[in-house]
Structure 1
Amino acid sequence: MESVNNTAVSGDATAAAAKATLRHAKTLKLHTGNLVNRSRLKKKCPSSPGEELQDCIRATLTDWFATTQLPSGGGLSDTVDCCIPEATEAIKPEERDELKVSVKLFLCESDQSSIPEALEMACQTLAVSQLDSVIIAPRGLPEGEVQTLAHLQPAWEELEALVRSQKIAAIGTSDLDKDLLEQLYKWSQVKPSSNQVNLASCCVMPPDLTAFAKDFDIQLLTHSDPKELMSAATFQEAVQESTKELDVADWRLEWVLRYSIIVKSRGIIKAKGYLVNARKASP
């Protein structure tokens, strides 16, 4: 009976430490770990990328709440790194040449300065010095507003700088029609190597887009991501379900990064996961 009571006390102390840590923090960095092994997730086959991400956030926070401890010095950090170390899939140097690391970065805020931070976090998490491919998904525009080259330029300039510094090998776009892709191609210094097309809105690739991509060696890919991968309300709901009585209304999602590690010779996914960055709004 005493050991059971000790276990309960230990669990309560761990949960209290996690809540104190998160209550104090201003930034939350979350890594879901490798999703190829889905034993930690409630839904083994989520119906959408958004549902998958929500389930991942819940599972990761639940595990983190059960294992985190207060720092030995008693001090609390403004940044919380929420991850489960044994679920992380770092790449060994000897296997790097055999693997392709592809990333899609979803921006949830208009601030483009977070792009280098997000991609550096991916490099550190996966233990690589360079990402093979990065696709940018800019923040969705208000209804009725049409995306233009001016909307794309700030993010693209950030990506170009990372290509020049050899953090990224190739960069791509998402959901651009032929005219906008052509404008970006003509304006940019580092040309887009790919463009994703959402099959939910386009069952067949538009002929003009296909012709332009072929002429300028741009790979056309398909995807099923919604325009908004995760709303602020859905993110807060996922966090709330894991943290119970904590107030999460002032947390906002800044960006979500999805990565895939592919074995080149076999074309299979070795690892897949999400990195998430959220920030507490200033009072």
Structure 2
Amino acid sequence: MTRIILSTGYAVDPSAPALSPIRDANGRIRNIVSGGPSIIRKPGTFRSNLELTNSLRRNFLAAQQDYAAALQNGNGNGHLVNIEDEIKPNDRPATDIWTAQEGSTLYVPRIDWSVAGLQEERPQYEITVKLFYLPTAPADARLKYTKQALDLVKRELRVGDIDLLIVSFPGISFEGDCEWEADKINATMGNEEEEVATWSALEDLHRDGQVGRLGIAEFGSVKLRRFLDKIKVRPAVDQINVKNCCNVPPPLSKLARDEGIELLTHNDCTDILPSGTLRELLGQGAQGAGVLADGGSGGDGGLRGDLIPEWVVKYTAFVKDRGVIEDKGYFAGAELVEA
């Protein structure tokens, strides 16, 4: 069994023009446009599944070109190629050139941890992490997934803790023709027993000081009330998507106000990384990374097996005194069960 860790570098706004990969002062590839606001999605326009898949695809292609160029040049610098130029499957460099295997974990693409880290001291940042538990993964492994995701974010940013962890459980949405209907339908969604058990494990991370505040996503008034009655550490944040119903339901607003919970809105997609999308990203197609073999019997040399997406984490490091985002990106975890 192989664990696969995918990373985006910097997440980019998919509405921005195509760009070439550039390097930061430490030489790391960062797929960003020059201005700070351009890496932030426009509200209501794009959902994070599109941002995630576009950013992964760009980062894979940039890494393939950069590491292949460095190898051809015989040095560690190489040169960069405009990522608008499509690489055909038979032009891809060997997978082991631009990915890294550490024990049973395969990093796609490889990450140079030596140049990771934020530019200023830790107190200057507000670090927010949103963790999506995927429906294809077992609920009893969520604490393990959480630790994996947080370890990667902390290693990437070189920090020992995060300020806010928002968790998104599978099978929950906040959609309806109006806010009242959305709130009513929401009350029947998800698996309350699994959600409470997961939260209890997260409370330990909060008590240990690894996470400053905990938050949830897509909890309406009825669901939130039942949840609060069964947990010890209150969520500091409830993040909901009101793209269809436009308004926050009054019962939810009142409950949040009474309980001291901050209501935030978002445009994230709850089904952020389906199995088919992940296999397409890593497969042998024209827009795939060439890591996985095709389903057929062709001798393409890729890895074979059942691919199980487990979690996705989105992280943002916000410089408080300047009001800008310095670092934003994604990691995703999956298991490949070899045939």
> Smaller-chain TM-score range?
0.7 to 0.9
* Structure 2 CA distance for partners of 1:166 and 1:76, relative to 1, 3 Å: closer
Find the aligned partners of 2:332 and 2:2 in 1 and give their Cα distance.
14
Unaligned runs of 5+ in 1: 1-24
Counting only pairs closer than 5 Å after superposition, residues 2-13 of structure 1 correspond to structure 2 as none
Whether 1:187 and 2:230 are equivalent positions in the alignment is yes
Whether 1:258 and 2:314 are equivalent positions in the alignment is yes
| SS across alignment from 2:330 | strand
* Amino acid of the structure 1 residue aligned with 2:316: S
Contact conserved, 1:27 with 1:80, CA < 8 A, in 2? Answer: yes
* Deviation of the 1:245 alpha carbon: 7.8
| SS across alignment from 1:170 | strand
1:238 aligned partner: 281
Contact conserved, 1:104 with 1:135, CA < 8 A, in 2? Answer: yes
| Per-residue CA distance 1:192-211 (angstroms, 9 max, x = gap) | 00001102233111111101
Contact conserved, 1:36 with 1:270, CA < 8 A, in 2? Answer: no
1:95 aligned partner: 121
| SS across alignment from 1:136 | strand
* Structure 2 CA distance for partners of 1:189 and 1:237, relative to 1, 3 Å: same
Find the aligned partners of 1:158 and 1:36 in 2 and give their Cα distance.
32
Counting only pairs closer than 5 Å after superposition, residues 68-147 of structure 1 correspond to structure 2 as 77-81=103-107, 82-85=109-112, 90-92=117-119, 94-108=120-134, 109-111=137-139, 112=142, 113-140=144-171, 146-147=189-190
Whether 1:171 and 2:214 are equivalent positions in the alignment is yes
Contact conserved, 1:34 with 1:89, CA < 8 A, in 2? Answer: no
Q: What TM-score do you get using the length of structure 1 for normalisation? A: 0.79
Contact conserved, 2:12 with 2:55, CA < 8 A, in 1? Answer: no
Contact conserved, 1:55 with 1:238, CA < 8 A, in 2? Answer: no
Contact conserved, 2:162 with 2:210, CA < 8 A, in 1? Answer: yes
* Structure 2 CA distance for partners of 1:245 and 1:152, relative to 1, 3 Å: closer
| SS across alignment from 1:29 | strand
| SS across alignment from 2:315 | strand
Unaligned runs of 5+ in 2: 14-18, 22-30, 69-94, 173-185, 296-305
* Deviation of the 1:95 alpha carbon: 2.0
Larger % of helix: which? 1
Find the aligned partners of 1:192 and 1:246 in 2 and give their Cα distance.
39
* Amino acid of the structure 2 residue aligned with 1:233: G
Aligned Cα root-mean-square deviation (Å) = 3.2
Q: What TM-score do you get using the length of structure 2 for normalisation? A: 0.67
| SS across alignment from 1:147 | coil
| SS across alignment from 2:229 | helix
The structure whose RCO (Cα within 8 Å, separation 6+) is larger is 1
* Structure 2 CA distance for partners of 1:132 and 1:247, relative to 1, 3 Å: same
The list of structure 1 runs, each at least 4 consecutive aligned residues, that deviate by more than 6 angstroms after superposition, is 42-46
1:49 aligned partner: 48
* Deviation of the 1:132 alpha carbon: 0.3
Find the aligned partners of 2:149 and 2:226 in 1 and give their Cα distance.
26
Contact conserved, 1:110 with 1:139, CA < 8 A, in 2? Answer: no
| SS across alignment from 2:334 | strand
1:59 aligned partner: 58
Find the aligned partners of 2:212 and 2:294 in 1 and give their Cα distance.
37
Contact conserved, 1:33 with 1:89, CA < 8 A, in 2? Answer: no
* Deviation of the 1:227 alpha carbon: 2.2
* Deviation of the 1:55 alpha carbon: 1.2
Find the aligned partners of 2:163 and 2:32 in 1 and give their Cα distance.
31
Find the aligned partners of 2:130 and 2:47 in 1 and give their Cα distance.
16
Contact conserved, 1:60 with 1:83, CA < 8 A, in 2? Answer: no
| SS across alignment from 1:146 | coil
* Deviation of the 1:42 alpha carbon: 11
1:221 aligned partner: 264
* Structure 2 CA distance for partners of 1:248 and 1:230, relative to 1, 3 Å: farther
**Equivalent pairs: percent with the same residue?**
26
Find the aligned partners of 1:53 and 1:225 in 2 and give their Cα distance.
10
